[in-house]
Amino acid sequence: MSDTPDFETLRLTRDGRRLTIMMNRPEALNAFGGPMHREIIDALAFARDDAGSDVVVITGAGRAFSAGGDIAGMARVLEKPELFDTEAEEAKALIFTLLEIEKPVIARINGPAVGLGATIALFCDVTFAAESAKIGDPHVSIGLVAGDGGAIIWPALVGLHRAKEFLFTGEILTAARAGEIGLVNHVVADDALDAAVDEFCETLLGGATQAIRWTKVVMNMELKRLAHEMMEPGIAYETLSVRSDEHRARVEAFLAKTKKP
């Protein structure tokens, strides 16, 4: 019997002292609909406290890492904006729980990582992206503030001016472009992704476990400070934008487009 918890939308597996968290809604490109918001927090909390692992890998099933928010969720929030209040609290819990993991957390970006999917990937410690993957935070494209972590992590990785350019436009970057500007650590051929992640994990697992963890703790202190200062106002502004006419118009246009034969 597995000693990892069961989830509806996630799959947790072990390989020695490596724990993999796989977002498992491949038919929806691992979009955050239904219970996945809550389940990913619980999975990260398990990874944080798990005595049986020293490295954590986060990835997606199928052809995507995560497409971010799903269409059905957009429609529900459009009709009942108060539903976003729960999602807002979960977004804060997600980022804070991820930052509390002292073990190295590796993102295996096997396909599109968009919106919240991009945020989760970029808050990992080291990122490996397949050449065919794309990454971006298009909150503004549907009239939303990038308040669930993007405004924190993008500037930390690529600098303030570059981050503003990408978050103001919602541009989706190729993996190659993301690698060029330092948004991700490594870009490899699609068929070499697993080998690259495996090799790096083995290097970490062969290293000095406590020294690696405590080095991460020190390096993450500034990132945690920023998160504690910025998540609350970021979510507050995103909550305001959820209730805006601009957001409604853009989501309705998007939904109408997706319904066309």
166 vs 79, residue with greater confidence: 166
Under 8 Å between Cβ of 107 and 59 = yes
- Decide if pLDDT at 78 tops 80: no
Record the tokens describing residue 192, joined without a space.
């070499």
Tokens standing for residue 167? 């978050």
User: pLDDT digit string (tens) for 121-145?
Assistant: 999 999 999 999 999 999 999 999 9
The per-residue pLDDT for range 67-77, each reduced to its tens digit, is 998 777 777 77
The dotted CATH code for 10-190+209-259 is 3.90.226.10
Q: What is the spatial distance between Cα 66 and Cα 119, in angstroms, rounded to a whole number?
A: 10
38 and 83 Cβ atoms separated by less than 8 Å: no
| Per-residue pLDDT, 18 | 98
Place of tokens 């020294």: 211
Instruction: Tell me what the mean pLDDT of segment 248-252 comes to.
Output: 87
Residue-range domain boundaries for the chain: 10-190+209-259
Burial (CB count <10 Å: 0-12, 13-18, 19+), residue 1: exposed
In percent, the amount of the chain with pLDDT more than 90 equals: 81
In what helix (H) or strand (E) does residue 27 lie, and over which residues does it extend?
none
Give me the amino acid identity at 253.
A
Q: How confident is the model at residue 88 (pLDDT cuts 50, 70, 90)?
A: confident
Cβ burial of 213 (10 Å; 0-12, 13-18, 19+) is: middle
pLDDT band at 261 (very low <50, low <70, confident <90, very high): low
Rounded mean pLDDT, 214-240: 96
pLDDT for 2: 63
Q: What is the mean pLDDT of the chain?
A: 93
Looking from the CA of 186 toward its CB, the CA atoms found within 13 Å total: 20
CB distance 13 to 61 below 8 Å: no
Say yes or no to pLDDT of 194 above 80: yes
Asked whether the beta carbons of 231 and 92 are under 8 A apart, the reply is yes
| Whole-number pLDDT of residue 73 | 74
As a whole-number percent, the residues of the chain with pLDDT over 70 amount to 98
What is residue 185's DSSP assignment? S
**pLDDT value of residue 1:** 39
